Amino acid sequence: MSSRDAMYRQVAELHVRCLDRSFLATLGVGFLTFMYRALDESDSTLLLVHREGDAVVGFVTGGASMGPVYKRMLRSPLRLGLNLAPAMLQPSKLRRILEILRYTRGAAARPDLELPTAELLSLAVASEWRGRSIAESLYRALEREFRARGVTAFRIVAGTSLVPAHRFYRRMGAEPVAEIEVHDGEHSVVYVQRL
């Protein structure tokens, strides 16, 4: 396994451990490894990691659109199919995949709101490394990358039940601007971070 492959797998494993309440975590390490590779290789998104030795202990992802990531994944339909096969056999997971695709196309966003196209997609730090400013460092690194790309603001979507995440985003300066429903019956708060 190459060092890049190992990194994508570590990011996927960290996602499953730390973002275990997210729907994507239920799709498994194999799918997430494939997705994070596509995300890192796409020009529209970015993946930043924090390492301690050879171990990835934190990561953040962001970007302007997941569309190119999905297209990149579709270039390997067999691999995508193998990684999604278990989910395809469960109607509830298939429905949630379609809800994510709908959100990605903007259907879940409120029409009365003009939101930035750039978005913080995921942020995680291993529990044993929390309290060492790694999340803050990753967040600020994402801000710098966005600024370098000419981005003046980005959005963050966090489920209403994720209280620690809400405290963190507010502390970092993000402002809550709306509530949306990405998955039926599950509300999320939309934050905007101005740069």
CB 179 within 8 A of CB 190: yes
What is the reported pLDDT for 182?
Answer: 60
Sheet of 153-159, strand order: 45-52, 55-63, 119-125, 153-159, 186-194, 175-183
3-class DSSP state for residue 114? coil
pLDDT band at 177 (very low <50, low <70, confident <90, very high): very high
Q: Which residues pair with 190 in a beta bridge?
A: 157, 178
What is the reported pLDDT for 103?
Answer: 56
What is the reported pLDDT for 23?
Answer: 80
- Taking all residues of the chain, what is their mean pLDDT, rounded to a whole number? 87
What is the reported pLDDT for 108?
Answer: 46
Tokens of residue 150, six digits:
């000419």
Distances (CA, A) of 171 to 29, 42, 97, 191: 31, 30, 31, 12
Residue 90 has pLDDT above 90, yes or no: no
Q: Which residues pair with 194 in a beta bridge?
A: 153
Give per-residue pLDDT as tens, 129-145: 999 999 999 999 999 99
Residue 101 has pLDDT above 60, yes or no: no
pLDDT band at 66 (very low <50, low <70, confident <90, very high): confident
Residue 98 has pLDDT above 90, yes or no: no
Residue at token pair 């981005």: 151
- What CA–CA distance (Å, rounded) separates 96 from 127? 27
Q: Model-level pTM?
A: 0.86
Residue 107 has pLDDT above 50, yes or no: no
Percent of the chain with pLDDT over 90: 59
pLDDT band at 114 (very low <50, low <70, confident <90, very high): confident
3-class DSSP state for residue 107? coil
Choose between 89 and 157: higher pLDDT: 157
Which residues, 6 or more positions from 168, have their beta carbon under 8 angstroms from its beta carbon? 135
What is the reported pLDDT for 89?
Answer: 64
Question: In angstroms, what is the C-alpha Rg of the chain?
Answer: 16
CA 41 to chain centre: 15
